[in-house]
Amino acid sequence: MSFFKDVSIVGGLKDFIAFARQSPKERIVPAILAILIPGFILFLFVIDSKVNTAPPPGQKVTYFESWSLDRTDEEILADRWAIQCVKDKQAAKRKEAMKTIGRMSGMDVEEIEREAKEYRAKNGIVEVKRPDNLTC
């Protein structure tokens, strides 16, 4: 590294001050810009090396509920249908949002829904019957 043995920041600053005193004022602004712009770019390289260097987040732990062993089948089914009610509400909300987007983009939403219903009927896709006493 014999190239860098003659490099000195203090000497460079002294040379710049001597240059600024001897030169007309019109040459000082470009000289300052010639120093600041590469300095700013080097500063960005230093900052960029520290971006996205955090360790990845840990594994997400999902806990489950534990139920008593003496639960009846009716209680189990009631819990399952309660969860299904929440899922049905979310699906209905999403379906309405998609219909709105379809209408806004000029699609015939009713025809698309009619075609989907015909497709399900033709292929034997049947929706599970909900219990009569189910209230969502």
User: CA-CA distance, 119 to 125, in Å (whole number)?
Assistant: 8
Q: Give the pair of three-digit tokens for residue 27.
A: 């040459």
Question: Which run of H or E residues covers position 58?
Answer: none
Q: What is the pLDDT of residues 25-76, one digit of tens each?
A: 777 788 888 889 999 999 998 888 888 777 878 888 878 777 788 889 988 8
Task: Residue 30: name the closest of 21, 20, 18 by CA.
Answer: 20
Indicate the pTM of the whole model: 0.47
Q: What is the pLDDT of residues 100-112, one digit of tens each?
A: 999 999 999 999 9
Contacts of 77 (CB under 8 A, 6+ apart): 131
